[in-house]
Structure 1
Amino acid sequence: MTCNREANERANYQRWLPPMSARNFRGFISAFQAFWVGIGYLIEGGRRTVTSHVYSLRMWYLTGQAG
């Protein structure tokens, strides 16, 4: 059961990664920032609240700001 779950998680992660030769990090980060801003903020009573996403964790990793 654990092996199937790990394989499934790995497949889900790899689905988000294009081949290395197709990666355009500058373009990806630019488009990703606009996407994250579009879904990452909620307006509640005139107050902005940041919501966390799996995408934001990946963004930190790709920009070298992780850890």
Structure 2
Amino acid sequence: MDKYQNKYRVGSIRLPGYDYRKNGAYFITICTKNRGHFFGKIVDATMQLNELGQIAHKYWMEIPKHFPFVK
């Protein structure tokens, strides 16, 4: 396995030769430092956003205003 700055790292899972600039459905994962619960908590299988989570949600929902090709 490859190392970067003396740490093991996972190789890319991108499909070789695929043009990721093309239109398509993409799944996005946001990883936080130390996997901290910075955006809120899950209660009864529902995400309850805290103040920071509400801010992140607000700006996430505004992305299509700046990039009309994104839904």
TM-score, length of structure 2 as denominator length:
0.27
In proportion to residue count, which structure has more strand? 2
Question: Given the two structures, how large is their TM-score scaled by the length of structure 1?
Answer: 0.28
Q: Greater relative contact order (Cα 8 A, min sep 6): structure 1 or 2?
A: 1
Instruction: Specify the structure having the higher radius of gyration (Cα).
Output: 2
